[in-house]
Each structure stands twice: as C-alpha cells, then as structure tokens.
Structure 1
Amino acid sequence: MSKGLRILITGFGPFPGAPFNPTPPLVERLAKLRRPALSDVTITTHIFDVAYATVDLELPQLLATHRPHALLMFGLAARTPWLRIETRARNAITTIWPDRRGARVRKGSIAGTANARAFGPHVFRLLRAARLTGIDARASRDAGSYVCNYLCWRAIEAADHQTGPRLAAFIHVPPLRRDGSARVPGGMTLEHLADAGEAILLELVKELRRA
C-alpha cells in the first residue's frame, strides 16, 4: 500500500461542560499540512457533534464515501493535562451524562460482546512519535464512557471489517483557551498539539506503507 493513501481525520464539537473544543482547529491545521511524505495522501476531515446518534449515522457514511485506509480521531479530555493515546475502547457507556442532544442511554454497555476492544500495536509507535516532539504523551487504557469512547468502539468495529479502514487511532487532547494558548502556565498550546498531531499523522502514513 504505497500510493493513493486516504486518511480521515475527525474531531468533536463542544459538549456540556466544554463550550470550546480544541479539536476542530487542530484537525484544520493537520488538513492543511504540506509535506513530501503526504504528497500522495488524500486527507478528508469531519467534526462530529457530541451525540451517539450522530456517530451512528455519520461514521458509516464517511467510511462508505471516502473509503479511508486510516482513521485518525481526536477528542477532548477536559480534566487531563497531557496527550492521551488511547489503546482500546471500553464496552461501557454512561447512563448519567446526556450527550449534546440530550440523549441519555439506559444500558451501561455498548455491545453484548467483549469488555474491551484494542486498536492494535501501531498505537504505541504513534505514542513514540508524539513523545519525540517533546510533548507529554501517555498511553491510556480508559477512553472514558462518553461519546469519545463510543466512537472508539465503533471505529474498531469498522476496522475489523475487510472493507473498513486498515488502521484506526484515537487521541485525547487537553483543554486550551479559545486563542490556542495554554489553560495553565507551562501547559500545552495549539502549536504543541499541532506538532504532535503532525508527528502522529506522519507515523500513521508510515504504518500504512508497511501494510
């Protein structure tokens, strides 16, 4: 797989408790990258509303329309000051917090199968690429129980299908101010996230070329 690569990069909009989500400007920055390693890569982007029904409706449509070889997803972890590379999706969904559309689920699991589903060993190479930019990045085994984790689960499901993306990854980013500056002194900025996001994207392209 060396020519005509297609990558779908996604983010999320605001949600209750987080009126500003930094993932849309991050996704926009990554989509505008011009690098030799990306010369044969078609990047498409999408911003999900933070709603379970939106994920269920739009993710299959995006995969069918763009047929990406890889899916790179970003979400906001409002209480985490570092970059989180998710290694798996949990078969868990909150029954307490409604999504942005007010939907509240009544069952605490996504599917009647395994307790978790793993993205695969490639995520640790993405983690290493992010760390080489100097950012504080860590592997995470808990993507929460909200819409981010739900998207993780659905993405891994899609990647398990023969016609789905070959690779998928989900990155949780810390909160930023609206101007892209750090929320705390010495904290991460949009520039930091863009540098790490670029490194992750380029490593993902390498992984696809090895496939």
Structure 2
Amino acid sequence: MAPVASAVTRVLVTGFGPFQGVPNNPSWAIASLLPTTLPNNISLTIHPAPLPVAYHPVISTVPALIADVHPDIALHIGVVEGRTYFAVEQTSRRNVYGYSWNADIDGEVFTDTEGDAVWGDQPTVLSTELDLEAVVDEWQNRTEGIVWPEGESEGIQGKAGGDDDDEVRLSDNVGTYLCAFIYYTSMVEMGKERGQRDTAFMHVPLLLGEEEVQFGVEVTVELIQSLVSSWRAERAGGT
C-alpha cells in the first residue's frame, strides 16, 4: 500500500469548452464541479474557465498556468464521442498531421514550423512518467462500487448494467486534435517545471445531463486519488 504523505499534493485540473458537435463539453462540466480539496491531503486547482478548443490559446495558457500553480500532477480532461468508458492516455506527439490541417474553433491551425519554434528539440513522442498501469489498477478497484446511471447518452445507456471491468481503462489513443496538443504541451512544461512529466490526460464519454456529469465527477475523483497514491508511492520508493 502506498504511504500517505503528510505534505499536501497539488493537482492542477483543466477541462475544454465547446467545439463542433459538442455544445456542452462534459470535460469542463466535470472539472467545474470538482472540490478544491480531497481526503489524504490533496489540493485541487481547477482552471477557472474552460480552455478553448484552440491551439494558440492552449499554447499560451498551459505553460503560464503550470509555472504559476507549480502542480505536483497535472490532469487534463477531454471528451470522445462514441466511447462508453473513461480512459487515461499514455502518449502524445508533436507536429502530428492533425494540428496543421484540422482547424480549431477559431479556424486556425498550428503548423510544423510553429511547433519547431515552441518545442525545439523535444522528442517526437512523449509519454507520461506517471505509472498509469498502477494508476488504472487502483482506479478500477476504486470505481467498482460506482453504478453507471440510466442516462441520456447512447454510451451510458449501452454501458448501464454492463461489464464493470471496462468502465475505466488505460489507452494510447489521445488522437490528433486539441486533446493530443494539450497533453504534449503539458508534458513538455511539467518536464521543465518539475523535472518529471507527471501529467495525465483523461478522455470521458459524451456525458449528458446532471446525473451523468455527477457520475463523471465521482469517477474523476477516484482517478485523482489513484494518481496521487501512485505518485506518492513512486516518490517514496514504493512499499
């Protein structure tokens, strides 16, 4: 079992705003409802507004946010339509084709030239230095008692009463749009700020309505507890 640290662990959390086809982004709905503290000496800093689904606002906001908050762990939340589960993502890439041709909500792209200027000699692929396998093992245990609501969204309806083992997962498919972009950006900045890429990205289903969003909040709280538990165990050398 991971030791309980006496010091407060600081976790930064962000969510995204609306984009094409998703007028009410559940990633921000979840982030905005999280408490500022959790048991076991965990302090949450929630970015006070949804991040625009736009490259240049993200690349200007995230580095400044990390430098100001000095988080131990950063957690960014996004949504995937059509998924029936929650997942934390392992890797992200710089200068993927999506950034340069898939326009954001401002109608802008992020070119390879811009990426080279911002990220310099950073690797093409970055992976979080959090032990996501250990995190997901604990996350699955923590969410065993959380009942999927009989909700409005197709994913939730299809999942209610289904296989509990698939509710929360480890994934390596962050995509090629703003989810990948913010994850790569955050890993770079956390590496500079903390010397460790202690960043996580969670994809949530397209949750609809108050009950489904509250369900997402519960799942997210258990993810944060799992992230902190694993992070503390690694810093203590494990037990």
1:173 matched to 2:204? yes
**Aligned equivalent of 2:192:** 161
Spell out structure 1 runs of 4+ moving beyond 6 A. Answer: none
Partner of 1:104, secondary structure, is coil
Identify the match of residue 138 of structure 1 among 163, 166, 169: 169
Following superposition, the deviation at residue 159 of structure 1 comes to 2.5
**How many angstroms apart in 1 are the aligned matches of 2:71 and 2:196?**
6
Q: Percent identical across equivalent pairs?
A: 24
Structure 1 range deviating more: 47-56 or 161-170: 161-170
Partner of 2:78, secondary structure, is strand
1:150 matched to 2:181? yes
Q: TM-score, normalised by structure 1?
A: 0.83
**How many angstroms apart in 2 are the aligned matches of 1:130 and 1:167?**
17
Instruction: Check whether the contact 2:55–2:109 (CA below 8 A) recurs between aligned residues.
Output: no
**How many angstroms apart in 1 are the aligned matches of 2:86 and 2:53?**
20
Point out the structure with max Rg over C-alpha. Answer: 2
Q: TM-score, normalised by structure 2?
A: 0.74
Following superposition, the deviation at residue 171 of structure 1 comes to 0.3
Amino acid of the structure 2 residue aligned with 1:153: Y
Q: Structure 1 residues 106 and 68, CA, compared in 2 at 3 Å: closer, same or farther?
A: closer
Gapped regions of structure 2 (runs ≥ 5):
145-163
Q: Which has the higher helix share?
A: 2
**Aligned equivalent of 1:202:** 225
**Aligned equivalent of 2:88:** 85
Following superposition, the deviation at residue 172 of structure 1 comes to 0.4
Identify the match of residue 21 of structure 2 among 17, 20, 24: 17
Following superposition, the deviation at residue 108 of structure 1 comes to 9.9
**Aligned equivalent of 1:118:** 127
- Aligned-residue CA RMSD (Å): 2.4
**How many angstroms apart in 1 are the aligned matches of 2:86 and 2:33?**
17
Amino acid of the structure 1 residue aligned with 2:46: T
1:26 matched to 2:30? yes
